[in-house]
Amino acid sequence: MTCNNTLDKPPQRIMSKRFTATEKWEKEWFQQLTPRLKCFWLYLCDHCDAAGVWEPNFGLASYKIGDKVSPASMKEFGDRVHLLPSGKYWISGFIAFQYPKLSRECKPHIPIFRSIEANGLSPLIDACSKGFHTLSEGYPKGIHTLQDKDTDKDKGKELVKDKDKAKEQPFAPPTLEEMKAFGATIGLPEIECEKCHDYYQSKDWKVGPKAQMKDWQAAARNWRRNWQENNGDLFNQKPDYEKGF
């Protein structure tokens, strides 16, 4: 009589698949780390959430690495890791490295935006990337998961239904806070969000002489493009995370 021991095994945790920067081994900052800190950096990149936020558990990290790490260890990574007011840590280059472009319409990206909002990361991302360009609109080809590809047809049907519903609903002007929140996701500074909101508010959210605006987010993106052109190519500046993530 054979015994099936698979029932006694604890369920395995499904870990997300992530990109890794193989060139980090050639970077001077990484070469100068001790073996203990190199392992700790790899551990952080593997155990942070979808937005690069890690809830500290130094005891567990020390156990898994096989050497002791502490809050003092985080200082060895310099500005690549930021301590948040909540006590959590954020890897500043994680989002930009893992997701060249994000879209709120992409379901796999929903946890990223949730973490950004929950941890108040928008100002930090704006400061670190000099333009928040990693959260620009759009979703490049080749980044979809296999599951997404299998359900593309269903998503297409859902999008058609959503568009039909949007056509039926009357236009609702955004509040200033909604404009600022959306502006943070596309790299539009708060002052420009206020200007954009005031401008269209003064026009009763009309486009042209009489046409009612249908998509205020599209208007905000257009405002950002005009602001970008008038202020130089800020979005193409080399972000800090490329110095050695």
Q: What is the DSSP string of 62-130?
A: HHHHTS---HHHHGGGGGGEEE-TTS-EEETTHHHHH-SS--TT-GGGHHHHHHHHHTT-HHHHHHHHT
Amino acid occupying residue 126: D
Whether 119 is in a domain gets the answer yes
Whether 154 is in a domain gets the answer no
131 and 187, same domain (yes or no): no
* Closest residue by Cα to residue 196 from 220, 213, 175, 232: 220
132 and 168, same domain (yes or no): no
121 and 186, same domain (yes or no): no
Whether 3 is in a domain gets the answer no
Domain that holds residue 230: 162-239
Whether 103 is in a domain gets the answer yes
Query: In 10 A of CB 201, how many CB atoms?
Result: 13
Domain boundary among 140, 172, 187: 140
171 and 101, same domain (yes or no): no
Distance, CA of 76 to CA of 194 (rounded, Å): 39
pTM: predicted TM-score of the whole model, two decimal places: 0.47
135 and 187, same domain (yes or no): no
pLDDT in tens, the chain (245 residues): 444 544 454 445 455 678 888 888 998 989 999 999 999 999 999 999 988 999 999 999 999 999 999 999 999 999 899 999 999 999 988 888 888 787 888 888 888 889 989 988 887 776 655 433 332 333 333 333 334 444 555 566 666 666 666 556 788 899 999 999 998 998 899 999 999 999 999 888 988 777 889 899 999 999 988 888 887 544 444 444 444 44
Amino acid occupying residue 121: L
98 and 189, same domain (yes or no): no
Phi-psi region of 132 (alpha: psi -120 to 50; beta: other; left: phi over 0): left
pLDDT at 162: 62
HSE, side-chain direction, 13 A CA sphere, residue 130: 12
Whether 42 is in a domain gets the answer yes
- The residues with which 207 forms a beta bridge, in sequence order, are 211
User: What are the φ and ψ backbone dihedral angles of 196, each rounded to 5 degrees?
Assistant: -60, -45
Are 88 and 78 contacting, i.e. CB atoms less than 8 angstroms apart? no
Are 96 and 129 contacting, i.e. CB atoms less than 8 angstroms apart? yes
204 and 168, same domain (yes or no): yes
Looking at the 3D structure of the chain, how many domains does it have? Answer: 2
pLDDT at 157: 61
